[in-house]
Every structure is written in structure tokens, then in C-alpha cells.
Structure 1
Amino acid sequence: MAKEELKRDLKNRHVQLIAIGGTIGTGLFLGSGRAIQLAGPSIIFSYLIIGISLFFVMRALGELLLSNAGYTSFTEFASEYIGPWAGFVTGWTYWFCWIMTAMADIIAVGVYMQYWFDIPQWIPALACLVILLCLNLLTVKLFGELEFWFSLIKVVTIIALIVIGVVLLVIGFKTNTGTVSVTNLWSHGGMFPNGVSGFLLSLQLVVFSFVGVELVGVTAAETANPKKNIPSAINKIPVRILLFYIGAIFVILCVNPWTQLNAASSPFVEVFALIGIPVAAGIINFVVLTSAASAGNSGLFSTSRMLFTLSNNNEAPAKFAKLNKHAVPSNALITSTVVVSIGALLSKVIPEQAFTVVTTISAICFIWVWSIILISHIRYTKTRPDLRAVSTFKAPFTPFINYIVLGLFLFILIVMLFAEATRLSLLMTPFWFILLVILYNYQKNK
């Protein structure tokens, strides 16, 4: 029986905006306040270092995907260049990453809706999940449209923040916390007010901010012109990082000294409120709501496609490879949605610390996925010099830069081991990989 294939219905504008959505994670809106409190103004360097590193990961991913038109995701080249176990473990780990992330984002939707409606948060959370499921079941093109508009809202908000901030900077606008000035970057304890340790501890939070940057690779099988659209989306990542991350954080720290920012709230809300926009809280609440819905939407898309790929590779039940009449892997999509909904309901009674544990585990697992991409690329350059020679999208500085980025990822994990807030998550995560190794060996010996 021939394998069913996904439709290539994602156009260039969809891929571009999915890439933007991936490089503007909810961590920028929700987690940057805490990251700023840890690192102070040096958080700019954290975003720059992680952003540049992930650009090289994406260049490696792009070259690998385009080296074989049959690849539908990174699990397939992981199996080919590292071994079948790597494809199995990475595929299920990526599914797990997005399940965890989607749980957190759907819960966040419920919390944000409480700003306007006094109802239990699980009601809007599940309602949002059902709506996203229904829309995703229709066509992949509709997923592309959803992400296009979700990402556009994020982009417009950040550009508005940057433009307003630059104007305030030029005119020397005065707020109740002082004058808007570049000197706010170093006038409150210097660029590293909490020392090198604060800067290092912020790296994990910044990693979570970039979760989803590899989504452009998951869309490869459903992109109309991958040889044109994927390189175009990947090559624009540095500009997006400079504009959306560095630019936004720079403006926030110039408008409001880092010492005045609240770790528990969004610095975007605080800046708009400071400059006298009365509806600022409502506007930004809507933006972070759509950002969380966008992340949940991406989670359902990526988990369903990963189950589809695993099933096609005989690493998951055959029913997950079944496509509906719209060429959407409906069984995989519904299964992922059910798992996310159970997590959302359970999370209603879990303390706040559990949210940190879930997102930290997600970040650790994403580091695994990104590392597998880099290792696969190293193996590809060594074992397939013929493909490397004819590649039209060669990753630069290979393999030297691959080893540098892998070293950085290892260093971040070591830092997480010494940080009290992340130690538990790091120590819990190996159990997931042990479980996968057991399942892989069971499946192999059947």
C-alpha cells in the first residue's frame, strides 16, 4: 500500500511568517521580564549569542533538508546519518517538546482571557484548543493563514514599540522613572549588574524564547517551493533577531531602567503604560493572548506532523499516517490535541513552580533536537561529500561552528544543573530518554 503524502500548500508568505512566528517565541513577551531581572542589560548579549547560534543550526537544517527532496523532517536525516535510534528518540522528543509547550500556552490563553471575563481559566483554554483543532483539520493552507495573521500581530506590536521608543529616545521624553535615554543601559549597576552569574542564568530563559525557530524545517514537506522558500526564510533570521529581540529589548531598557521592571509581568505592558497609552494593558493582553494561541497552533501542527513522520517510519502506530480528505494527518492531530487538553486540565491544580518545570524540560529537549541537527550535519559533510559539493545552500564555517554551538549547548546544561530553579527539571529529563531507549529496543526486537 502506497504511503499517503502531505500536500505542498504552504506558500512563500506562509513560510516567511511561520519563520517569524518561530523566532518570536512567547518567551519574548512573557519571559523577558524575568530574564532581564536575572541579567540586567547584559540580556542583550544573551539574545545575541543564542540567536546567532540558532542561525547556524538553521543553516545546517536547511542544507540537510534540501540535500534530499524526500525528507519531510529532521528525524529522517537523523536516522540516516546518526542511526535509526537517533531518528526514533528525536522524533518522539520533538513531539514531547511541543506537547509540553502547547500545554503551557493553552493554559496561558485561559489566564489572559480572565483579563476581560470572570470565568474559570480552563473554559477558554479548552475552547481555544477545540477551535485550533477544527481549523487545523481543514487544510494546511488554513494553518498557514492562521500563523500568517498571528505572526503579523506580533510583528506590528514589536515594530510599534521600537518606533515609539526611538521617538521618545530622540526627544528625551520624561517618564515617572526618569528620562528615556541610552544611559539607562549602564547607569544602574553597569551592563552586568548581577555579575557573570546573572548573565549565565539568563541563557536558559533565552533558549526558551527561541523555541520554535526550527518550525520552518517541519513545514518542508508542505512547502510549495522548498528550494526557494526555505533558504529565504532561514537567511532572514539574523535580521529578525536583531530587529525583534535586540531592538525590542534595547528600547525597553532605554525607556525604563531594568531595576524598575517587574519580573512577573510583561515589560511590553509596562513600557506602553509608562508612555501614557491608557489602553496599553488591554492592547498588550490581546497581543500576548494571540501569541499564546499562535504557539498552541504551532504546537498542534508540529506534533501531528511528527507523529505522521514517525508512523511512516514504522516508529509509531500506523493509524497516525492516515490523512483525511484535506491531506491533513487527522488521527495524529486529534491524539496530540487530546494529550494537550489532559495536560491543560491537570495543570489547573498544579502550583506555579510546575509551569517553570514544564517549560524548562521543554527547553532541554529542544537543545537535544538542535544538537541532533548539528551532529547530523557533521556526519553528512563527512559521509556524503558528493552531496555537499553540489549543495546550493551550504552551511557556513562547517564543521567548526557546529562544534562551537554544541559546546555552548553543553555549557548551558551545566549552568542549569547549578541553578536551583532549573536543577530539578534537568535531573528529571533523563528519565524521558531512558523510556525512549527502552521503547526503541522493544520495537526493534518485536
Structure 2
Amino acid sequence: MKALEPLLEWLSIPSVSTDPARREEVRRAALWLEERLKALGFRTELHDTPLHPILYAERLVREGAPTVLVYGHYDVQPPDPLELWESPPFSPAVREGRVYARGASDDKGQLFAHVAALEGLEAEVNVKFLVEGEEEIGSPNLLPFVRAHREKLLADVALISDGAMFAPGVPTLTYGLRGLCYLEVRLQGAKRDLHSGAFGGVAPNPIQALGWILARLKDERTGKILIPGFYERVQPVPEEEKALWPKLSEEALKGELGVEVLPGEEGFSPLERLWARPTLDPNGVFGGYQGEGSKTVIPMEAGLKLSMRLVPDQDPEEVAQLAEAYLKEVCPPGYRLRVQRLHGGRPVLTDPHSPPMRLMAQALEEVWGRPPVYTREGGTIPVVAELKEALSAPIVLLGLGLPDDNLHAPNEKLDLVNLERGIAVIRRFYELLGAGRV
């Protein structure tokens, strides 16, 4: 495949946005993409921010031609734990029709499909790119950029590939994303670590207190989140919308996850819990001794990282306030609690029947030989809600990954058939759009 070699080169750049030691590598990934777009005739602008640069590029073929804004991100998640990778995360490997590397699916591989689709394209469509290096840390600088450069970014449709198909061989259009509220919670007990023999029985233990707090966040039987006011803005999904959804095999999902049950909120189907209900999950717990063998210590501090996925019409700031107030309420006496808001994003719903979505559905059916299914997605892309508001234009979410791509985990991969057909679908979409088929 012609597109594979340059993609492997881009994937080899360790653009981990959350790691200060990788800052120059993150910038190098942006410069790599900038040069690639310049070679395709784009005029580019690299905008520095307090963290990582934002790349804007445009190729305007004719005034009045339809304009597409492509969004993506070139930053990636940390590769840890390294020992679980079958091949090094930044030495891309091709095995059995898949490319394995950090960023293969999220999002370098999917974004590169949009770049490769423009090679030799003759359709009369204006194309703009908005590419950031901070999506994996909540897009703190992109949202102000979008607000400040609204006129520059104006387009007839925003096109985004940073998600997954419903299943292998099943072309998919996504019309909804959950939002995110991400907190870090720290508990302090004594002013220093203490010997568990000398002080056990009188010293506060932040790990124990953390366990008590966690137990009061969700109901063990029903799975309901217990933060007062958390569900106040949550609306039920209309039956006509659920009729759009594909069928999900619960047994197949259990097999994929390697579990015997699918826990979650009582009274809702797995798809509802995955796409249209809010969640609360501890993503990390820390405190005390973590090394080999024993160390009899009562730690002075413990903490956890907590993510809450949100649905329309929940607001991340409001949810953060509700969560912080409840955490303080249930914190046992004798501990100092601190809550830090790390990042968030608003949920978004788009029109699954907008003209650009219908056009993309046609392109998908022509390339894959079957019509697409329509899904919401459980993840978050913070800028989508901002783009929807700023552009007042339809959003097309075209996922090219798969649910088993190991996003944010070892052995991330992208199936090459999805890359190849994704390129063909995007090209066909531009041809239909340029021919005035909307």
C-alpha cells in the first residue's frame, strides 16, 4: 500500500503530549505533518501554544466550492506498560494485515487516511486541516484557538476520523459522543509516613479512607452513581433513535472482554450504557508502598484519578462541582481532601440525517458494498462540541478503527483494510461533494 511507508515513519515519532520529556518529539510530529501537507499544495500555519503547536492548513481550489474542515490530533497516549508490547510502541510493525504502534488507530493512522486521500484528487473541494497535539490531555489550547479563529475555520462540513467502526467489515457513521469530567483526588492523613506497628490503631490511613469514599460513589447492586444531582440533566434516548442502532451480541462482547458479566447501570441495555448513559470510573489509585516485598508503612497520602463520561445535556463544570461537593461530604473526619480538575469536554449529538452524512453514507456503501450502521460513541473528542457551535455546520464522524484496536493500551493497532478502504471512502466523499451531490 502506497500510504503505508510514510505512515510508519510518522508513527515512529513518540509524540506523547502528557510527557514533558517528549515535548520536542511532539513538535517534530507536527512538523512532519506540515511538510506532508505542503507537498500536497497546502498553505500551512504552525501556531505555537504554551504546550504543543496547532497546525492549520488550507488548499482552496475555488471560491464558492464546498469547503471541508478536517480535524485530527497528532499526539498519542503514553505507551506504558512497555513490557506488554509485542513489538516496541514506536517501532511500527506490520503483522497479519495490521500495523502495530502507539497512535496507529488513535489518531495518526486515521488522520493520515485523510492526507493520503488527497493524493492526486481532482474534485473541486476546498480543504482545511485543523490538527492539534493536545487531544490526549483535554485540548486546553485548541478550544480558545477555535473561538479566536472562527472565520478562518468556517466550512460547510467538519470531517473527523477518531473513532471506531461497530465491527469488522461494518461501515459506521457516528453521530454522538459522550463528554468527560476528569478529576484527581488526594487525601492526606498524618504529616509524614508512619510505621504501622508504632502508629497503627491511632494514625489516619488515607488508603483505607479512599476505599470508604470509593464505596460511596456507586451503588453496588444497581450501578447507579450516588452523587446528588448527577442525573438531573440526563434525558432518556427516544425509541426512534434506538431503532437506528445495530444489534449487539452480549455474549460476543463478554468474549472480547474476557469476562462473564457486563456490569453497569441497572435497567439499561449494554449499548445504552456504552453510548447514552453517564459513567463514573476510577482510572488509577495510588498510595503507600508499591515495590517488591513488604514495607510496613501507613502512608501520609493516597489518591485516585476519576473519570466521568457525560451525556447531553450534562455540563462538565457543573458535574465537577457536584462531585467535589459530594467527595467533601463523604470524606471521613481527620483527612485533608484536595480535588483537582484535570480536563473535560462537552458531550455532543449531531444530525445523523444531514446532507453530508447522507453523502458519506453513499460513499461508504459504494466502497464497502453495504450501507453503514449509525452509532453513538462512548468516548470524548473535546473539540467536536466547540466546532459544532463555532461553525454552525454539520459534523461527520467517520471511524476507521475497530473496538479491539487497544486504544490507550499495549499493542495498539489499525487494520490495513480499514486504512485502505478509508482512503477510498474519503476520496469518494470529496468527489460526490465536488459534483454537487449534497
TM-score (norm 2): 0.26
Of Structure 1 and Structure 2, the greater strand share is in 2
Of Structure 1 and Structure 2, the greater helix share is in 1
TM-score (norm 1): 0.25
